[in-house]
Amino acid sequence: MIGALLSIPSFDLSARVHHRLHSRGFREITDSNSTVMKLLGPEGDRITELANKAGVTKQSMGYLVERLEAASYVERVADPRDGRAVVIRRTKKGWAYNRAAAEEVAKLQEEWTQLLGPAKMKELKSLLAELVAKLGHHYEGSYLEAVTRPPGQRRGSQARS
Amino acid sequence: MIGALLSIPSFDLSARVHHRLHSRGFREITDSNSTVMKLLGPEGDRITELANKAGVTKQSMGYLVERLEAASYVERVADPRDGRAVVIRRTKKGWAYNRAAAEEVAKLQEEWTQLLGPAKMKELKSLLAELVAKLGHHYEGSYLEAVTRPPGQRRGSQARS
DNA sequence: CAGTATAGACAGACGCTCTTACTATTCGGA
DNA sequence: TCCGAATAGTAAGAGCGTCTGTCTATACTG
């Protein structure tokens, strides 16, 4: 049952990360909110862009952004290039959340590497990457690679893989 | 990003299966409903058992079962051994749904095998199975193996893997 | 038989999603 | 330049699925 073999570790990972981030004080973040925080680009995005990335309507994304704004993870900035548009950007707290999430994912991945051994772990990731590529998904970097730094800073060693 | 590498194919698979089943006429089944149909044992289960398997409250499971009953996928039968309890069992339509779901999953899995090649596919499943085992999950057979036959019938060749 | 535990239902709340409808702004062609 | 079409976003209302708290009926146990 390939479905369960994929969904069990996938669920396990996100549940554990969510739990650890909750313990670290990021209490307001729900599953849907965390998706927005993953998808939000380093320079911010418009509601419509976020809605497209997440595959939901503008209205649904508006609701999520409203919640994230109320909890001070993001802020709305008027787009100077378009009077209709609003740019959603991470606040300091939003960046702290993303860094913490990347840390916890890295820790969990290390635990999995200990369970399987480095060779098998590498092989597993390689096979999954090939499968994802052949399934034709073309996600922007923001989804396959964690966003942990504001624009203008060099992309350093971590947050890779 | 191991999370995305797992969640993308996992989501892809369930979205496609859901879409195909919808096309085949099983229109009332939502994601939560499909989870119940996966978890429900061949001889039926009580609300409380289902709630435990799914990791939700009795009340939430009661709601889902109510919907499935209204759409004729399951029926409620008084439990002769316990006057408080009710056994939830698949109807004919419920069995048809499970068989159709197993068929579609098998087709998709075949497509993936064509994409990766049989050797890599086998290796991927083996690695995932090892990971799931080492993560300490002990799901009942009903979750890792599709339920497609009423009790009393021999478990035949398909629905395996 | 009395007290406790269990199975399930009821009520209310909230999170997230959708559809329909609307306003404000921008763009593009005559 | 200006008018119509497209786009960004908001508003209102509905439905699903989840939770907590509360309740009844039945079963188990000392």
Token pair listed for B57: 């409250």
3-state secondary structure labels for all residues of B59-127:
HHHHHHHHHHHHCCCEEEEECCCCCCCEEEEECHHHHHHHHHHHHHHHHHHHHHHHHHCHHHHHHHHHH
Has residue A107 been placed in a domain? yes
CB B78 within 8 A of CB B61: no
The answer as to whether A151 is a domain residue is no
Residue B153: inside a domain, yes or no? no
Q: Is the pLDDT of residue A16 over 80?
A: yes
Cα(A19)–Cα(A27) distance, rounded to whole angstroms? 9
User: Measured in angstroms, what separates residue B69's CA from nucleotide C1's C1'?
Assistant: 39
Q: Which residue has the higher pLDDT, A86 or A141?
A: A86
For A82 and C27, how far is CA from C1' in angstroms?
Answer: 11
CB contact under 8 A, A12 and B137: yes
Give, in Å, how far the C1' of D30 lies from the CA of B42. Answer: 37
The mean pLDDT of chain B is: 90
Strand blocks (E) in A32-133: 45-46, 74-78, 86-90
pLDDT at B107: 97
Decide if A47 is inside a domain.
yes
- Chain C bases closer than 7 A to any CB of the protein: 6-12, 15-21, 24-27
CA B53, B55, B59, B60 dihedral sign is: negative
Q: Which chain A residue's Cα is nearest to B103?
A: A1
Q: Assess if residue A127 is contained within a domain.
A: yes
Q: Is residue A5 part of a domain?
A: no
- In percent, how much of chain B has pLDDT > 70? 89
Answer for the pair B125, B144: CB distance below 8 angstroms, yes or no: no
Here the CATH number for the domain that contains residue A58 is 1.10.10.10
From the alpha carbon of B30, which nucleotide's C1' atom is closest? D16
Q: How many CB pairs under 8 A join A and B?
A: 119
Would you state the torsion angle of the CA atoms of residues A109, A115, A117, A119, taken in this order, to the nearest 10 degrees? -60
Task: Give residue B138's pLDDT.
Answer: 58
pLDDT at B154: 43
Residue of A nearest to B113 (CA): A131
pLDDT at B98 over 80: yes
Residue A43 domain-assigned? yes
Question: Is A140 (CB) below 7 Å from strand C?
Answer: no
Q: Is residue B150 part of a domain?
A: no
| Interface touch B6/A128, C-beta < 8 Å | yes
Interface of B with A (CB under 8 A): 1-10, 12-14, 17, 105, 109, 112, 115-116, 120, 123-125, 127-132, 134-135, 137, 139, 143-146, 161
Provide the CA A149 to C1' D22 distance, Å, integer. 49
Report the footprint of strand D: residues with C-beta closer than 7 angstroms: A 46-49, 58-59, 62, 65, 76, 79, 82, 84-87; B 30-33, 55-57, 59-61, 63-64, 67, 82-84
Domain holding A14, by residue range, is 10-144
- Looking at the predicted structure, is the pLDDT value of residue B6 above 60? yes
Q: Check whether A161 has a pLDDT greater than 80.
A: no
Nearest CA in chain B to A3: B10
Counting the structural domains of chain A, the total is 1
Separation of alpha carbons B100 and A68, rounded Å: 41
Q: What is the pLDDT confidence band of residue A157, given thresholds at 50, 70 and 90?
A: very low
Per-residue pLDDT at A54: 96
A60, A67 in Cβ contact below 8 A? no
